[in-house]
Amino acid sequence: MQTRKRLPAPRILFPALAVLLLAAFPALGQDEFPLRPFYPGVASISTSELAEVYDSAVIIDIRTRFEFDVAHMARAKRIPLADGQFRLGLKGLRGLNSAAPLVFYANGPTDSKVYEAVRKAMHMGFANVFAYDAGIFAWISTQPEHSYLLGKSPARPERMIPPRMFERRLLSREAFTERAALPDAVVIDIRSRYHREFEPRIPGLRNIPMSSLLEMIDSRIWMEKRLLFLDQNATEVRWLQYFLEANGYVDYAFLHSGVDGWPKDLRRRVQAEEARLTMNQHALAELAGNMLLDRTALRLLMRVLSRIRLENIAVAESSTLLAALEISPEALRAAAESLRREQALLYSTIGDTYIFEINPGLAWRGEMGGTIWKERATQFLNAVQRRR
């Protein structure tokens, strides 16, 4: 474990200043751990050293839930640095002066969050605290038996996506805009609504936060679409690529540099609140009085409407629906069929998953009557005609 001598510089340097200094002094950027000089007093721990104390160490993953779900150390506890509960989460994990190493890790040598986490823990009075700044990928490559990758342990290092494979999926602003204009393109902003102060002016851009997006990707409803994703700075999309590859997606790309690289005069401010579910009460009342729909079908419809996460799409496991409605698989299929015949929805199944496309004139996540709503309404009616 290595503690470096303090440099003749202020004790606290902000990450943004560190980035500027790295740009001014390229030689520092060539070092294996370029941010270490900017965090004097923060002790680091190498992969081999961490492996030696692995069983006794308290290991904290400070990344997002999404990043953690893709890959993490087997014994790690997730306490996100960005979470307001970070300090509260650390309390009670270990005594302040315990001999057990308290180790924080994130994505790699250029991720400043790991140093910030160590510094916060030290300010709380914790001793024997270390930054594993090599990051999760370095750990997986040498310690697969102590790692999870895409939910499986031991991790298989050969399943890690090399940087060049990721970089091939990055598009410039011009190329991204050109591809977004194609008729089969689906353009998705994966940022959470709390981080979407501005967005690019791209026609048809929709926001699907990661929690809902992964469910949609896993259902494979866009296998024949041209998928385009953007985030804040092209970091989250790198993790998204693992889920796309695991589900067999081929035609997808990411915006190089994310929204941060988009010209400010070509952005627009977005509303902070999530789009509300709009329901046509008159149409719902007509369905409720439809003698061709029994109580089971109406209960299924209400359950499906409550699960709309994007526009007019809802995804649900059949096991979840069966338990909620207390019916048999045959009754579930019959109820879905009756709703399809009455043009309330369309559905398909993949394995144990039901994918519902609700009539946009019945319910819609957002405001009815807009351009996208009109397009989806036309598509729905055309699909109904084809299935007759």
- Based on the fold, state whether residues 265 and 283 are members of the same structural domain: no
In a domain, 169, yes or no: yes
- Based on the fold, state whether residues 140 and 27 are members of the same structural domain: yes
In a domain, 1, yes or no: no
The encoded tokens of residue 270 equal 């977005």
Quick: pLDDT tens for 142-183.
999 999 998 999 999 888 999 899 999 999 999 999 999 999
CATH of the domain at 40: 3.40.250.10
Closest CA to 59 of 89, 103, 115: 103
How many angstroms separate the CA atoms of 94 and 98, rounded? 7
In a domain, 3, yes or no: no
- Based on the fold, state whether residues 379 and 250 are members of the same structural domain: no
Helix (H) or strand (E) holding 358: strand 353-358
What percentage of residues in the chain have a pLDDT greater than 90?
Answer: 55
In a domain, 69, yes or no: yes
pLDDT band at 211 (very low <50, low <70, confident <90, very high): low
In a domain, 4, yes or no: no
- Based on the fold, state whether residues 334 and 227 are members of the same structural domain: no
- Based on the fold, state whether residues 381 and 287 are members of the same structural domain: yes
Q: What is the mean pLDDT of residues 292-299?
A: 94
CATH of the domain at 329: 1.10.10.10
How many domains does one find in the chain?
3
DSSP characters over 180-230: HTSTTEEEEE-S-GGG-SEEE--TT-EE--HHHHHHHHHHTTTTTSEEEEE
Q: Are 249 and 224 in contact (CB under 8 A)?
A: no
In a domain, 94, yes or no: yes
In a domain, 10, yes or no: no
- Based on the fold, state whether residues 340 and 238 are members of the same structural domain: no
Using the 3D structure, point to which of 248, 269, 290 is the last residue of a domain.
269
- Based on the fold, state whether residues 296 and 206 are members of the same structural domain: no
- Is the pLDDT at 214 greater than 90, yes or no? no
Number of H helices, E strands in the chain: 16, 19
Single-letter residue type at 216: M
Quick: pLDDT tens for 105-125.
998 888 888 999 999 999 999
* Boundaries of domain holding 62: 15-155
Using the 3D structure, point to which of 128, 155, 182 is the last residue of a domain.
155
- Is the pLDDT at 292 greater than 70, yes or no? yes
The encoded tokens of residue 72 equal 């993490």
In a domain, 176, yes or no: yes
- Is the pLDDT at 29 greater than 50, yes or no? no
